[in-house]
Amino acid sequence: MFRVLTWSLFVAASFPVSGTVSAQQLLEYPDTVLSGNVSAELPKPLAGCRKLCDERSGCAGFDHASATNTCRMFSSVTAARVSRGSVASTRQAVSGYIDPANLPPPPLPQPSLSAWLHNGSVMVLHQTPKEDGSSDVEIVYDFPKNHLLKVGIRSGSTLFKGRLADGSLVGNARLTSSRCGIIQYEVQGMFDPLSSVPFFLRGAAPKRGSDCAVESWSTTGENANLRFDPHSHGDLKLPHPKTN
């Protein structure tokens, strides 16, 4: 038995003027029926039921029973429960019920900056979160110590670029020479962005000969054991480094 409402009365009493379209996506609940204030109950296919609710902001949600082809429109939704063969959609997530099937993912955290001291230079660590939960990390010189200027290192020069995943930071460090230029080598270490403790990036650092060719690799010394200590730098307002 369907509740009989004339279409003109249904529109006037339950919804705003035709043509008002809500920009908010309807949240989908498979195998669900709703509880709340039913504005109308009428025979209608699922696609038509969804379209009817989607086009009118006064519709808080609907449910549709496939067995009887029954569409129920709600001006307010208070609860939901499992019912096989029924489909429901709502403007807002139903409190205390399962998550919608099409719940959008949470927004990614914003890129962040933090200041560190490395071997007498002030560094900035740029962290850019990615959708898979990892982060791109780049460590650049902010204030290089004086003797590094002689080999071409400037504010904004990259020391390290890599990826942070599950607390493990892996990537390539850059060793710069005024005569031989830049050479990269792999380093890794553990890093917690929320912890203000020193961290290390370790790897085999290259040793170059007079012809700039790599003669050997060493796991000892400063270049093979890059230490970073937290640095209080005030408000960092540096631009994000360009990808190179």
pLDDT tens across 88-117, in order?
A: 999 999 999 999 999 877 777 788 999 999
pLDDT < 70 stretches in the chain: 1-24, 233-244
What's the chain's length in residues?
244
User: What is the arrangement of strands in the sheet containing 27-43, beginning at the earlier edge strand?
Assistant: 27-43, 70-90, 61-65
- pTM score of the predicted model: 0.59
Which pLDDT score is estimated for 211? 93
Give the distance from CA 202 to its chain's centroid: 28
Q: Which of 97, 29, 92, 102 is nearest to 57 (CA)?
A: 92
- What 3-state class would DSSP assign to 39? strand
Contact by Cβ (8 Å): 61, 77: yes
Which pLDDT score is estimated for 24? 63
Concatenated DSSP letters for 58-99? T--EEEEETTTTEEEEEEEEEEEEEEEEEEEEESSPPTTSPP
Please state, in angstroms and as integers, the Cα–Cα distance from residue 136 to each residue in 22, 23, 26, 111, following that order.
Answer: 37, 33, 34, 9
Which pLDDT score is estimated for 233? 56
Which pLDDT score is estimated for 3? 45
Which pLDDT score is estimated for 5? 39
Which pLDDT score is estimated for 107? 79
- What 3-state class would DSSP assign to 149? helix
Which pLDDT score is estimated for 195? 86
Stretch (H or E) spanning 7:
helix 7-14
Give 64-85 pLDDT, tens digit per residue: 999 999 999 999 999 999 999 9
Which pLDDT score is estimated for 80? 97
